[in-house]
Structure 1
Amino acid sequence: MMQVMVVTTHEGVPQEFYGAKLIGSRSFPCPWYQKVPLSLALSPRIISEVARFKPDIIHASSPGIMVFGALAIAKMLCVPIVMSYHTHVPVYIPRYTFSWLVKPMWMVIKFLHQAADLTLVPSAAIGRDLLAAQVAAANRIRLWNKGVDSESFNPQFRSHEMRVRLTNGEPEKPLIVHVGRLGVEKSLDFLKRMNLNTSVMDRLPDARIAFVGDGPYRPELEELFKGMPAVFTGMLGGEELSQAYASGDVFVMPSESETLGLVVLEAMSSGIPVVGVRAGGIPDIIPPELEGKIGFLFSPGDLDDCVDKLGTLLHNEELRETMGRAARIEMEQYDWRAATKMIRNEQYNAAIWFWRKKRALLLRPLQWLVKRIFPSPEVHYQ
């Protein structure tokens, strides 16, 4: 049975969560994104806790400053380290701070992942980006199969009461849902283009839209959609979140910078067809052979294309339900049990193999020197 320890950026966490030992660390807010906690997780307490646990492998989520701590601990304890790349920070930097920071960020990412024994990416598109930037060798970049909690995100959570809430009291109206962090990088202003003096809601006047989530861009979005049939729920969790997904008619995803798009998987698992942008990791979820069967993709920046596909689904209940069922069936193949089995049995073993090979290469000169200084005595057999 695999034992797991999780080091998190949050203090005051329970000692155990679903059998995994939890260790909290002190953190501070990200300067450009106050709600994102940062922690190096390199205190003597955490180092001693990890050392006592005696891990066979360390898995760090990159980018983030905690990955530096994880790398240091892995080298101190002489154990393999896997890094999974979840947030495409070089794409986000120009939207939050200075563009000149993009190149230094790529240098940091290269340093970290070249020190790792294996890099896991959530989509083939991100893998190609890392390979093009020479972040790691091709054989050390592996796809981490998509996974979704198909029990928590399920059509059975469809709720009339939640639909009333999301439509502001008009449950009979077609309902578009978006779930996620409300950040400028999510391109949600695409749905209401001021420079074109038009929006999705102008073009689909009978529809309602609900934004589920919170983030630094929420005040601007609320102002942008002021006077329009839009609802902002703030953060939802647990059964409320499951209900929000399942109670919509169509899920929209305009973000062009998603490394995977977990919310897209959750929407599809909830039996809701998706209209997403043909960019980032979204085309890996809705590949060409399944486009039009489990969801639609629209061309980046093409509001007409987006509106046409949203309208097709919103005004055709039979097509919407057929695609929603097909999306649910597709997601049932990708639950977290299957994803966990893959990473445990294949990806971690690959990382350990690379680590052993690297260690053998590093030790070879030392072994040669030892043999020269302390030659083995010759043995003569008679």
Structure 2
Amino acid sequence: MGQAEEARPLLLQVQVDEAEADWNSRPHRIVLFVEPSPFAYISGYKNRFQNFIKHLREMGDEVLVVTTHKGAPEEFHGAKVIGSWRYIPRYNLNWLLGPTWSIIRCLHRSADLTLVPSVAIAEDFETAKIVSVTLVSSANRVRLWNKGVDSESFHPKFRRHEMRIKLSGGEPEKPLIIHVGRFGREKNLDFLKRAELERMFTGMPAVFTGMLQGEELSQAYASGDLFAMPSESETLGQVVLESMASGVPVVAARAGGIPDIIPKDKEGKTSFLFTPGDLDECVRKIEQLLSSKVLRESIGRAAREEMEKCDWRAASKTIRNEHYSTAALYWRKKTGRTN
């Protein structure tokens, strides 16, 4: 007997009328309240917001950014930045989960539209009863924030033999697995330190580069043979997008937002996923890629082609022109306003 398809969170679709389309074409005055700071917090989150601000400015909008952290610049691509220097630590404290979800629930139920980076986060919101899956409520609307990657900054053209020598500890002819990310508990990096994987790569040194930025980071991505991503808690997985844009195939856990990047019909074509916690499957897929240069290059090209479709400019335009119009429509319905 076939298994019924699992219910997915409701992602509402609303048409934008001609008046709203005309409004979309005019410059806007936009205030963004962002925390943690997209100018200090090192993650895919930083790339997402910096590119969003940049492309809003390119569309002629007046943008004001209110954020945390004393190191925030006075302006960014012409957007004025105001620093609000308060920060509440919240890192892996289980006793805070209940109160935190209560706060999140209160905020999002007051919102006219909620944007999520992946279907996995929409499911989390549904489980926590933050997002309604009925058409009755005028609040709790959810939309996907389209994935985006800077496919010019992350590109196969940045592959460098010199960088490969650096990353491989002076042995560039050996297989090179790379990982880019913060050292956080939620990244599950200890998964790749297990005995089986260490034995497989006996004699291969691990190189910790420290923080890389700009072209040096682009070279590091493009110079690897494959990208390993053991994290099971990614809201999306920006580094996976950046590796694929660099033409480097990925072996990642089938968890969080990563299946939004590598859907089922693309597995084995643009990159590989493994069952979370299944070390044997992870190792098999790594070995499969490392044993065949032809396969690595074929999947790397397909990954690059797929990422060329994920444009930050288009994602920013969708938020500005479609998502905001939808939020305004819900707000007018809720308040009974007609203009």
| Separation (CA, whole Å) in 2 of partners of 1:27 and 1:181 | 22
1:135-174 Cα deviation digits (max 9, x unpaired): 1223601111100111111111111121111111111111
1:205 to 202, 205, 208: 202
Deviation at 1:27, TM superposition (A): 3.7
> Which residue of structure 2 aligns with residue 2 of structure 1?
61
1:349 aligns with 2:325: yes
Q: Following TM superposition, by how much is the alpha carbon of 1:292 offset from its aligned partner in structure 2, in angstroms?
A: 0.4
Runs of 4 or more above 6 Å deviation: none
- For the pair 1:184 / 2:182, whether they are aligned, the reply is no
Q: Distance in 2 between matches of 1:232 and 1:256?
A: 22
The DSSP-based 3-state class of the residue aligned with 2:207 is strand
Instruction: For residues 247-306 of structure 1, give each alpha carbon's deviation from its aligned partner in whole angstroms, at most 9, with x where no partner exists.
Output: 111001111110100110011011110000011111111001110000000011011100
Provide the C-alpha distance between the structure 2 equivalents of 1:118 and 1:360, rounded to a whole number of angstroms: 17
Q: Which residue of 2 aligns with 1:113?
A: 108
| Partner in structure 1 of residue 313 of structure 2 | 337
Shift of 1:15: 2.9
1:108: how far off? 1.4
Question: In structure 2, do the counterparts of structure 1 residues 32 and 122 end up closer, same or farther at CA, with 3 Å as the change threshold?
Answer: closer
Q: Which has the higher strand share?
A: 1
Does the 8 Å contact 1:246/1:271 carry over to 2? yes
Alignment of 1:276-355 (within 5 A): 276-355=252-331
CA pair 244-27 structure 1, distance change in 2 beyond 3 A: farther
**Is 2:248 the partner of 1:272?**
yes
Q: Is the 8 A contact 1:204 1:311 kept in 2?
A: no
Alpha-carbon distance in 2 for matches of 1:287, 1:294: 9
Structure 2 unaligned segments of length 5 or more: list them.
1-59, 134-139
Q: How does 1:3-152 map to 2 (within 5 A)?
A: 3-28=62-87, 31=89, 96-97=92-93, 99-138=94-133, 140-152=141-153
Amino acid at match of 2:189: L
- Write the distance in 2 (CA, Å) between the matches of 1:277 and 1:22: 37
Deviations 1:44-70 (A, max 9, x none): xxxxxxxxxxxxxxxxxxxxxxxxxxx
CA distance in 1, matches of 2:198, 2:174: 12
Pairwise CA RMSD of aligned residues?
1.8
Using the TM superposition, give the Cα deviation of residue 352 of structure 1 relative to its aligned residue in structure 2, in angstroms: 1.3
CA contact (8 A) 1:191 1:199 kept: no
Q: How does 1:237-252 map to 2 (within 5 A)?
A: 237-252=213-228
What is the count of residue pairs matched by the alignment?
273
After TM superposition, give the deviation of residue 32 of structure 1 in Å. Answer: 5.7
Structure 1 Cα separation of the partners of residues 326 and 301 of structure 2? 36
Q: Deviations over 1:214-268 (max 9, x none)?
A: xxxxxxxxxxxxxxx2111111111111111111110011111101001100110
What corresponds to 2:47 in structure 1? none
Residue 232 (structure 1) aligned with residue 208 (structure 2): yes
**TM-score (norm. length: structure 2):** 0.77
Worse-superposed segment, 130-139 or 318-327: 130-139
The corresponding residue for 2:168 is 167
Give the secondary-structure state (helix, strand or coil) at the position aligned to 1:6.
Answer: strand
2:177 partner SS: strand
- Classify 1:274/1:12 alpha carbon distance in 2 versus 1 (closer, same or farther; 3 Å): closer
The one-letter code matched in structure 2 to 1:265 is: L
Q: Which residue of structure 2 lines up, in the alignment, with residue 372 of structure 1?
A: none
Which residue identity does 2:82 align to in structure 1? Answer: I
> Relative contact order, CA 8 A, sep 6+: which one is greater?
2
TM normalised by structure 1 equals 0.68
1:253 aligns with: 229
Structure 2 counterpart of 1:45: none
Secondary structure of the residue aligned to 1:146 is coil
Higher-Rg structure is 1
Cα distance in structure 1, aligned partners of 2:74 and 2:317: 24
In 1, Cα distance between equivalents of 2:89 and 2:109: 27
Write the letter of the residue equivalent to 1:204. Answer: F
Q: CA deviation at 1:204?
A: 3.4
1:51 is aligned to none
